[in-house]
A and B are shown apart, each in its own frame.
Chain A
Amino acid sequence: DIQLTQSPSFLSASVGDRVTISCRASQGIGSYLAWFQQKPGKAPNLLIYATSTLQSGVPSRFSGSGSGTEFTLTISSLQPEDFATYYCQQLNSYPPTFGQGTMVEIK
């Protein structure tokens, strides 16, 4: 199975900060990477797929980049509603796998 390693696991930031979360795959996955946001007690919500395509309704402050084994989720200006846990997921090969998550907390 392809392993996804996110860094950092925990991030403390302030409103307005630029935030970057990394996701490294154990082998190449092309551009088959998605990002999810999850708030406590809620299901994950798709933010980005195909590395950089924003899901409908997702604010443009979210962006994704990368290819192969190295990927990045960027939030250009952190808003209060963005404090949550973020997960990457590869959909290149069976079985699909997720990263361990990055919790973004208010500083």
Chain B
Amino acid sequence: EVQLVESGGDLVQPGGSLRLSCAASGFTFSSYAMNWVRQTPGKGLEWVSVIRASGGGTYYADSVKGRFTVFRDTSMDTLYLQMNSLRAEDTAIYYCAKAGNSNWYLFDYWGQGTLVTVSS
């Protein structure tokens, strides 16, 4: 059974940093691209980032480019999102999502989410 468990969400001040983790199990982690998707009541669901199976390619939404970094540790079957220069508009529930076989952006399994609040 595929399981994705996020952690690391917290209350952080504007300009601060946070690292989210997503522990994966139940599938061959190194064989699949992985995504981060966030959700807010106001903006709905927003794709944040993807990292290729090999880890060699990463892509970001314009709203986070230059501030967020996605990486993975295949020895630990864990996905990470390093978030720097956080802004109030980054406040959201952050989900990690496994990519399907056929498309990086087919989100076939999701974690339960972790809440990030950016506020002074």
Contact = CB atoms under 8 A, between A and B. Distances in A.
A91 B103 contact: yes
Interface residues of A, number: 22
B35 to A, nearest CB: 8
Contacts of B44: 87, 98-101
For the residues of A in contact with B, the DSSP-based class is loop
B46 A45 contact: no
A95 B108 contact: no
B105 interface: yes
23 contacts: A32-B103, A36-B107, A43-B95, A43-B110, A43-B112, A44-B45, A44-B95, A44-B107, A46-B106, A46-B108, A46-B109, A49-B100, A55-B108, A87-B44, A91-B106, A95-B47, A95-B62, A96-B47, A97-B47, A98-B44, A98-B45, A98-B46, A101-B45
